[in-house]
A = this chain, B = another copy of it.
């Protein structure tokens, strides 16, 4: 409809594949790029191509990186025996922003979801189990999301990890700064179950 141009329709479709972008937003992005100086459009086109070429998966932790192994896997000051398993690179980044975690990561690039056809082979599980076999990993922290798929993936990790490797799950509970009255029942049940002794 918009501009009657197949090229613009394809651009809008490409924008709509970005997370959280609907039709109106995609149209706004497209119109902006078409009205903006040619260099702006060329810059975006080039930046997408170059970034995709420059970035690969770390051969150890499968996180996205420009250098292989990634900066975290090659950091001798970090505990290479403690592996935090996350679904996506954004999860590892969120934990890094916290600034207190001193172990390393493993990025699965998804979670088990049989209904969507996502089994262990579709995730970076092989790479993880290879790391465990090396014998240098003492604990893996299942930091998958608190969703049905994330819980299933955590359970799978706990069952498949070889003996001698401790598997832990990140705590679920009331978020810092959150009031009880705004917390859903599931989270509160987890928070009660996971209570710790204070004195």
A residues whose Cβ falls under 8 Å from a Cβ of B: 2-8, 10-11, 13-15, 17-20, 25, 28-36, 38, 40-55, 64-66, 71, 88-90, 93, 109, 181
Contacts and interface: CB of A to CB of B under 8 A. Distances in A.
A109 B32 CA distance: 11
Nearest to A64: B34
Nearest to A90: B31
A52 B33 contact: yes
B55 A34 contact: yes
B66 A31 contact: no
A55 B55 CA distance: 31
A139 to B, nearest CB: 25
Nearest to A3: B64
